[in-house]
């Protein structure tokens, strides 16, 4: 039995692609059921389609408020019997109600060593603070932004002369390893705890 994943994206979808590729392994404990974007033109959608994955567009432009948008998103997730939601470059802040309706079944990847540098511009902030190390964190999503418990982190050095772009590139390589590894841990936990019922 595999956990049914829904991946939420807003942009290029490189972490989404890493998850899709990991899930292609018959031994992996999860399968990607659908990729859902809040932007109709997210480049990741085409990538997913080329990899044979179902895509859905819940375009935020079509909703006047967040609750309408989230209602449509929940409907899409429930309709597809999604059991674990993976935010992968999903750039819309979700309401506490939405986060709470997916407790322990929604995860995110963030490009810093949380709890350091939640929010945006993580690379520039780490460089400006003369940090010697940064990395990425996969964590559970809770109502407070980038604050849920950590599932896994991978670290990279910050080198002399690094720019936000060079640091982002170095971290992204680790993200593509960290996200599948973390999803494996979460999926196995869900399966072993018996909390997935069909
Ligand atoms: C990644 O750096 C991720 O950590 C952050 O947004 C970026 C998304 O990149 N949340 P991609 O769309 O997965 O390529």
Summarised one tens digit per residue, pLDDT across range 3-53 is 999 999 999 999 999 999 999 999 999 999 999 999 999 999 999 999 999
pLDDT band at residue 138 using 50, 70 and 90 as cut-offs: very high
Distances (CA, A) of 162 to 109, 114, 134, 187: 22, 20, 12, 36
Nearest to 55 by CA among 26, 83, 20: 20
Tokens 């079509």, residue located: 62
**10, 172, 179, best to mutate for ligand 1 pocket (most atoms within 8 Å of CB):** 172
Known catalytic membership, residue 110: yes
Q: What's the pLDDT score for residue 197?
A: 82
From the list 42, 41, 1, 50, the residue with the least C-alpha distance to 21 is: 50
Residues with CB under 6 A from ligand 1: 11-16, 44, 88-89, 109-111, 136, 172, 175
Whether the Cβ atoms of residue 156 and residue 135 lie closer than 8 Å to each other: yes
pLDDT band at 196; cut points 50, 70, 90: confident
Q: What is the DSSP letter of 193?
A: T
């Amino acid at each position: 039995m595999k956990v049914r994943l829904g991946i939420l994206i807003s942009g290029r979808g490189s972490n989404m692609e890493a998850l899709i590729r990991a899930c292609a392994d018959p031994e992996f404990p999860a399968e990607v059921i659908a990729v859902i974007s809040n932007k109709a033109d997210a480049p990741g959608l085409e990538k997913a389609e080329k990899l044979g994955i179902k895509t859905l567009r819940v375009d935020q432009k079509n909703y006047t408020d967040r609750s309408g948008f989230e209602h449509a998103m929940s409907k899409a997730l429930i309709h597809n019997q999604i059991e674990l939601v993976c935010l992968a470059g999903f750039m819309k802040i979700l309401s506490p109600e939405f986060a709470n309706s997916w407790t322990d079944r929604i995860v995110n990847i963030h490009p810093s060593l949380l709890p350091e540098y939640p929010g945006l511009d993580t690379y520039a902030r780490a460089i400006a603070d003369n940090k010697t190390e940064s990395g990425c964190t996969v964590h559970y999503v809770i109502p407070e932004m980038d604050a849920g418990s950590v599932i896994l982190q991978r670290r990279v050095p910050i080198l002399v002369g690094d720019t936000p772009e060079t640091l982002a590139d170095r971290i992204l390589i680790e993200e593509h390893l960290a996200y599948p590894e973390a999803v494996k841990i979460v999926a196995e936990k869900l399966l072993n705890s018996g909390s997935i019922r069909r």
